[in-house]
Structures are given as C-alpha cells and as structure tokens.
Chains A and B, each alone.
Chain A
Amino acid sequence: MTQQQEKLSAFMDGEIEGNDIIDAIKNDEALQAKWKRYHVYRGAMRKEVSVAPQLDITASVAAALESEPAIVAPKRSRWSSIPLIGNVVPFAKQSGQFAVAASVAVAVIFGVQYTNQDSPAEPFMTAPTIAPQGGLAPVSLEQTRMLPRNDMNEVLEKKRKINALIADHEQQIKLKQAQEEEIETSEQQRP
C-alpha cells in the first residue's frame, strides 16, 4: 500500500510513466480517493482549483424552480446608470479587488467541497495578498478571526454572492459548447 502511494505520488509528478499504476488506481477505490485528494491539495496550493461542474443541478431543481415566483422585470427609469468615464479609472486602479473576489471564489469552492457547508466563516482573508509560492501553509481560521472588523459577516456574505455568480459564469462557459451541440442535434432530428 505504502509502495503504491509512493508510486502514485511519483506518477502525479510525472516521474514515472506506466500502465501498472493506472490499473492499480482503477481497481483500488482507496487509491482513487487518494488520487483525487492529492490533486485537490496540489491544485489548492497552486491556486488551480477549478469549479466543480455540478451538472445535474439543472435537472434536479427544475421542478422546484417551477414553483418559484417570477422575478419582477426591472423598469428602465429606475436604474441608476453608472457615469462611465468617471468610473473606469478608479476601477482600473483597484484592479486588485476583482482578483480578491476571484481568489476568494477559489477558497469558497474549496471550502464547500471539503466541509460541505457554506457558512460565511470561511478561512480566507479580506485583504489582497500575493499567494505564497511553494509549500507555505494556507491561511488558518485563527488568523481570520483576529481581523478586527465588525461588518465581517456582511462583507463575507457579499463576496460569497459575487463569487457564486462568477463561478456560475465560468461553469456555463465550460458547458456552452456541449449545449450548442445538443441543440444542433435536436434541430437536425426535427424534420
């Protein structure tokens, strides 16, 4: 078992090549789980965690959605339009903000997959940081709690909502092509 773990690790690093280990992974559920976990760890360390496409979500909640009240369409006159010229420059200046949102997205997704709960007390920071390269430990829960902010929960909640939208956008793009294909096929089937 330990030998296989070593092999697995080496295989992941591209140090060995071989069908033995692939077969071993295929046949051994414990190894499969390990394989997945290793990748998640590494992905997280390298900030490469991607959005898990929870593909069945549309189907499973479709029925529930039918009973949802329709969202009221916005009326034009009530929109506060952004004065564009004034705003473009400041946004560009604080371009770090979006980067924070994106990196927080990674943290949130990570958290969801791990703890399977999405309480706002996620272990991430509110200030923009340069991610440490290499083997530095991720930010711990304690550090987050020490941040002296009263509106912490509110800020986190907002970020969570922003991230939910950004993550969803990315997932939709991933699935876009397949979707187009399905539509094409179904159109072809129709006479």
Chain B
Amino acid sequence: MRCRSFVALFFISGTVIQPALAQLTPSTLGLQISATPAQSSTTDLGGQDANKEGSQRDREEQTRNERQRDEQSDARQRAEVPQSASQWLAELQNIITNANFQVSFVQTVAGKETIPYLWRHGIMDDGSELEQLNLQNGPGRELIRVNDVVSVFEPDVQPYSLRSKHINGPIPSALLYHPEQLIEGYEFVAVGRARVAGRSAQQIRIVSRDNTRFGYQLWLDESSGMLLKLNMLDLQGGLLEQIQVTAFAISQSPAEYFSRINSASLPPPMALSNAPARAHNWDVTYLPTGMREIKQDTRRLALTGQVVEYKLFSDGLVDVSVYVQPADDALGETLALRNEVSTFLTLTDGSAQVTVVGEIPLQTANAIANSLRPVNN
C-alpha cells in the first residue's frame, strides 16, 4: 500500500516535469490518468486573464482544438509505434528473436564492480539461430547458443553444453522471450518517453501484483524495441541492480564471428538426470502470486555433502530455493543474512532446519519459510 502511494507520487511528479512529453504519447494506462491534470491546468491559466464570456468561448475552442490535435497525433502514433506495455514487450521479443544484432551492456550491482558484457545474435543463411554472450572483463565467461543447445565456456570448469532455448544471462530470459508468462505475477505499466543511451526510449514499470517482490523499470528503444536499460528496485524504490546498454547495432547480415563457430566442435549437450525424486513430506503453502514450483529433489550439497530436501520456485524474474535439512546436521540456529539483492534466511525448530535463498525481500522469504506444512503421502 505504501508502495502504491509512492508510485502515484512518482506519476504526478513525472507529469509536472514532462507535461509536453506526456501529451505526445497518449492512451497508455499511466498517461491517461496523469495527462488530465496537466491539460486542465493549462486551461485554467488561459482563463485567468480574459473576461468570463470570452474565457468560456476560448476554453471551448481550446478544448476542441486539443481534442482534434490529440486525435491526429493518436492516429499518427497508432500507425507508427506500439501503445501498451505488452505491445512494447512484443516488439522487444520480436527484435531479439529475429534480428541480427550486437549489444554492449554493463551490469551494476550495488556495492560491486560493474561487469561489461557483449551480446550478439544472428540468423544464419541456413536458418539456424546463433547467440553469444561474453563477459568482457577478466578471463571471461562465454556462452554460445546454436538453436537449442547452449555451450558454456568458463575458466575453471570443463566446457559443457545444456539443452536450452535461451542463454541464461543477467537479463531474465522470461522478460525477453516470454513476457506473457510474467503477467500472472507482475503488472506492466507503460510510463512514457525518456532518453536512454542517447536514444528516445519508452519506459515500462514492472511491479509485482502482491508487492512481495522487487520491482523493475525497463527502457526500450523507441525505433527498434531493443532493450536499453533495466533497473531492479527494492520496495522503497532504491536501486538494487542495473543493466545499461552502452551501444547496439542492428545489421542486415549476422556478425562475422558466427561464421567461425563450428557447431560440431562444441561439447555435446549433457543429459540431466530426470529421475522422479522421492516426494518430500513437506510442502510450501504460501507463495507470492505467479510463483510456481520448478523442481524438487533430494540430494547432497556439493561443498559439504549434507543431505538436503530441495524445492526450486520461480516467477520468471526471480528464483527462490527452499532447503530442508535435519537440524543437528545443519546450522541449528535462526539466522537471516542480506546483501543488497539477495536474502538468506534460515529457521529451525530444533529438529528440522528450513533455509530460503533468493532475490526477494526478507519479509517474503520469512513468509515462505513459515508456510511449510507436513504432507502425508
């Protein structure tokens, strides 16, 4: 609730600062609300100097002119650019799926060094789809996707491949490729125009419907639909993480780099064991809206060999892990750790230990951890 009023404030102040911009881009959800006070205030100003009859006529004329102008610009806009947030996201999906592009962007997480990435995509002559994501600093980390196989090259690990239609990079792939999957958990609101990376951009706000997760602001290039900037915000509106495009190019032909990739020399995709796991005798009874279970299993932790029962939840933008262990083997105490983005919360009742890890507010992690109930199989 507090967040909503804050958001409303943001809208109003945005209108005051940029009334001209607001009138140029009508009929988005946010602007329909905010454009009204801006128009009425201009009308009032005009009426102050003139006498009553004159001002009445003036006002009518002005309103009529304004309506005509709005309709004209409406028609023009409709033909040229998408209107709603979902249309803009469809534009984004379209360009990153079908275009040959090269994007340089940096990722900044509060309190950490900025990480630069190079992201390329190409459709080859034979119709195959190639994508590359390269971490540009240090020894790097390179991910190459050929159709639905992603090969990962990391400095300290044997190269390996996974079967996946998307590269799992710093930009959530659900936002890029399946924005429709996010509708259940998040609300998308087109805010209006802005200038990002030297280009005209459309801003979209993404807020979780039940206000239990962090929010996002997204800027898309107005002419191409390409992503220009993505902010992750905490519940108070503070910046947690930022992705900022520094340069991008869309070309007719795929980058020359892709022609050098020999897909036969990439490691073959691994088969992940999909053995049906023994059902846990506990379940999570509270989940934020739109979040669903991705998987569950019982296994040993790689670092300590402890046995854990594990469930992974995701809403497309954030992933949450829930671990249950016997308390004597685990930490054996109640503890919460936070950094800027992630929460690590562990609770114990003396016999079992529940741990929740993920990029969610502490309150949400606590609600999930406290919603565990025994299940009788």
Q: Which of B272, B301, B337 contacts A97 (CB 8 A)?
A: B337
User: For the complex, is B309 an interface residue (Cβ under 8 Å from A)?
Assistant: yes
Which residues of chain A from 71 to 94 have a CB within 8 Å of any chain B CB? 71-76, 78-82, 84, 87-88, 91-92
Quick check: B310 and A178 within 8 Å, CB to CB? Answer: no
Quick check: B156 and A162 within 8 Å, CB to CB? Answer: no
Quick check: B370 and A79 within 8 Å, CB to CB? Answer: yes
Q: Which of A51, A68, A183 contacts B307 (CB 8 A)?
A: A68
User: For the complex, is A144 an interface residue (Cβ under 8 Å from B)?
Assistant: no
How many Å from the CB of A61 to the closest CB on chain B?
Answer: 5
Q: Which residues of A are found within 8 Å of B157, using beta-carbon distances? A: 50, 52-53
Cα–Cα distance between A75 and B327 once the two chains are bound (Å): 13
Cα–Cα distance between A43 and B141 once the two chains are bound (Å): 10
Cα–Cα distance between A81 and B334 once the two chains are bound (Å): 9
Quick check: B354 and A74 within 8 Å, CB to CB? Answer: yes
When A58-B273, A158-B331 are in contact, do A165 and B355 touch as well, CB less than 8 Å? yes
When A74-B352, A91-B362 are in contact, do A38 and B307 touch as well, CB less than 8 Å? no
How many Å from the CB of A52 to the closest CB on chain B?
Answer: 5
User: For the complex, is B297 an interface residue (Cβ under 8 Å from A)?
Assistant: yes
When A46-B137, A66-B278, A181-B164 are in contact, do A164 and B306 touch as well, CB less than 8 Å? yes
Q: Which residues of A are found within 8 Å of B358, using beta-carbon distances? A: 169
Q: Which residues of A are found within 8 Å of B350, using beta-carbon distances? A: 78
Quick check: A12 and B282 within 8 Å, CB to CB? Answer: no
When A43-B155, A91-B362 are in contact, do A57 and B302 touch as well, CB less than 8 Å? yes
Q: Which residues of A are found within 8 Å of B339, using beta-carbon distances? A: 95, 98-99, 102
Quick check: A178 and B162 within 8 Å, CB to CB? Answer: yes
User: For the complex, is B342 an interface residue (Cβ under 8 Å from A)?
Assistant: yes
Task: Report the interface size class on chain B.
Answer: 35 or more
User: For the complex, is B219 an interface residue (Cβ under 8 Å from A)?
Assistant: no
Cα–Cα distance between A175 and B152 once the two chains are bound (Å): 11
Quick one: CB contact mask for B70-96 with A, threshold 8 Å, 1 for yes?
000000000000000000000000000
Q: Which of A40, A92, A174 contacts B338 (CB 8 A)?
A: A92
Chain A residue nearest in CB terms to B322: A169
User: For the complex, is B144 an interface residue (Cβ under 8 Å from A)?
Assistant: no
Quick check: B164 and A75 within 8 Å, CB to CB? Answer: no
Quick check: B303 and A108 within 8 Å, CB to CB? Answer: yes
User: For the complex, is B344 an interface residue (Cβ under 8 Å from A)?
Assistant: yes
How many Å from the CB of A117 to the closest CB on chain B?
Answer: 12
User: For the complex, is A70 an interface residue (Cβ under 8 Å from B)?
Assistant: yes
Cα–Cα distance between A70 and B298 once the two chains are bound (Å): 10
User: For the complex, is A190 an interface residue (Cβ under 8 Å from B)?
Assistant: no
Quick check: B331 and A161 within 8 Å, CB to CB? Answer: yes
Q: Which residues of B are found within 8 Å of A12, using beta-carbon distances? A: 139
Q: Which residues of A are found within 8 Å of B209, using beta-carbon distances? A: none
Quick check: A98 and B270 within 8 Å, CB to CB? Answer: no
Cα–Cα distance between A27 and B306 once the two chains are bound (Å): 39
User: For the complex, is B61 an interface residue (Cβ under 8 Å from A)?
Assistant: no
Chain B residue nearest in CB terms to A54: B302
Cα–Cα distance between A10 and B75 once the two chains are bound (Å): 58
Quick check: B302 and A167 within 8 Å, CB to CB? Answer: yes
Q: Which of A66, A82, A99, A160 contacts B336 (CB 8 A)?
A: A82
How many Å from the CB of B235 to the closest CB on chain A?
Answer: 10
Quick check: B301 and A164 within 8 Å, CB to CB? Answer: yes
When A40-B155, A71-B309, A164-B302 are in contact, do A177 and B162 touch as well, CB less than 8 Å? yes
Q: Which residues of A are found within 8 Å of B319, using beta-carbon distances? A: 169, 172-173, 176
- Say which one of B13-21, B33-41, B45-53, B165-173 lies at the interface with A: B165-173
Q: Which residues of A are found within 8 Å of B128, using beta-carbon distances? A: none
Q: Which of B173, B324, B347 contacts A80 (CB 8 A)?
A: B347
Q: Which of A38, A57, A176, A180 contacts B300 (CB 8 A)?
A: A57
Q: Which of A58, A78, A80, A99 contacts B111 (CB 8 A)?
A: A99
User: Hey, which bits of chain B sit against chain A, CB under 8 A?
Assistant: 111, 137-139, 141, 148, 150, 154-157, 160, 162-166, 168, 173, 270-275, 278, 280-282, 294-295, 297-304, 306-310, 312, 314, 319, 321, 323-326, 330-331, 334-340, 342, 344-347, 349-352, 354-355, 357-358, 362-363, 366, 369-370, 372-375
21 A-B residue pairs with CB within 8 Å: A40-B155, A42-B139, A48-B137, A48-B155, A50-B156, A71-B309, A74-B349, A74-B354, A79-B347, A81-B366, A84-B366, A98-B339, A113-B156, A118-B304, A161-B306, A163-B303, A164-B304, A165-B355, A176-B294, A178-B150, A179-B294
New A-B pairs, 6, CB < 8 Å, besides A40-B155, A75-B374, A98-B337: A48-B155, A73-B324, A73-B372, A101-B344, A175-B162, A181-B148
